[in-house]
Amino acid sequence: MNAPARIPKAQFDFKPLALLAGVAALGLPLIGSPSTWVTLTVAGLAMGLIIFIIASGLTLVFGLMDVLNFGHGVFIAAGAFVATSVIAGMGGWAEAPGLWPNLGALFVAMLAAMAVAGALGFAFERLIVRPVYGQHLKQILITMGGMIVGEEIIKMIWGPQQQPLPLPTSLRGSFVFGDVAIEKYRVLAVAIGLLVFAVLLWVLGRTKIGLLIRAGVQDREMVESLGYRIRRLFVGVFVAGSALAGLGGVMWGLNQQIVSPQIGAQVNVLIFIVIIIGGLGSTLGCFVGALLMGLLANYIGFLAPKLALFTNIALMVAILLWRPQGLYPVKTV
């Protein structure tokens, strides 16, 4: 009796990860000084992880329902603006000398931002996205319209000017090890980013809901025919993705220390490039793409500041020439 032929396991594709490591390794000799390299790498990872937090929801929503939300930027802006109010309102904690009250104020701001962005996402899905499922043209138009309206509402509440978003006192400045200086906030951003990535991996890889989401990304109709209501799942993913965008908005705003109503439209361009690079619908691709973008932006910003503004588009073209469907293609687009 022959043993049943084993189904060959899908090989994990290490090439994009190798590319990421290669970029980081190549940065060292080009930059020269190791201490500068460490500073830039941490800054790049922080930026990449923030972008990943924002973009992860967008790419999952696209993978699951073929919905690309051009209004994703609204959640970013809403999150950032809620944080300005919360941190200003908790001035006592944010300005206090100790680390714990500072972190407390920050986490309250983040939670509030996530709650507001999540609620906004729920409303957005209901009012804007739901009526135009499966109609790509209308989807693009209407989510863009949603963004215009959202931006105006933000201007109505917080005013059209830029708002300062200062870091709590004990997160300002840098840790110094020898001649290596790392900004404290970036360490926190990396930690939060990795935490979010770990939680996402755990939910997607180890839970029933994650299994259904992944199956839905692969083949929606099949999951539906097995009796699962993919619509509800989708609303959940949409809300979670919006909340993550709100969180990312707070972190992006703190990174810039200033928030303007146009922040959503600006970051939107970045996250679109990231999810194209990663392969539409792929979480891992989104992660690798975001880190690539963060690292390159910081390295090239140091080596040739003039060129830094074009790294994103150059990166996108280069990746698409190599893999037209993105780093980790999910399905044929």
CA distance 80 to 2: 62
Cβ burial 216-233 (10 Å sphere, 16+ → b, else e): bbeebeebeeeeeebeeb
Minimum CB separation of residue 134 from other proteins in Å reads: 12
Residue number, 202 or 310, with CB nearest to other proteins: 310
Judge whether 252 and 262 are in contact, CB under 8 Å.
no
Q: Tell me if residue 177 falls in helix, strand or coil.
A: strand
Minimum CB separation of residue 78 from other proteins in Å reads: 15
The angle subtended at Cα 42 by Cα 36 and Cα 43, nearest 5°, is 85
Residue number, 123 or 176, with CB nearest to other proteins: 123
Residue number, 120 or 167, with CB nearest to other proteins: 120
Minimum CB separation of residue 289 from other proteins in Å reads: 13
Q: Tell me if residue 107 falls in helix, strand or coil.
A: helix
Minimum CB separation of residue 107 from other proteins in Å reads: 31
Minimum CB separation of residue 135 from other proteins in Å reads: 10
Residue number, 132 or 303, with CB nearest to other proteins: 132
Residue number, 42 or 217, with CB nearest to other proteins: 217
Q: Which residues are at the interface with other proteins (CB under 8 A)?
A: 68, 70, 128, 131-132, 136-142, 144-146, 148-149, 152-153, 155-156, 160, 265, 268-269, 272-273, 276, 280, 306, 309-310, 312-313, 316, 333
**Phi first, then psi: what are they for 188, rounded to 5°?**
-60, -40
- Of 263, 268, 250, which is closest to residue 111 (Cα–Cα)? 250
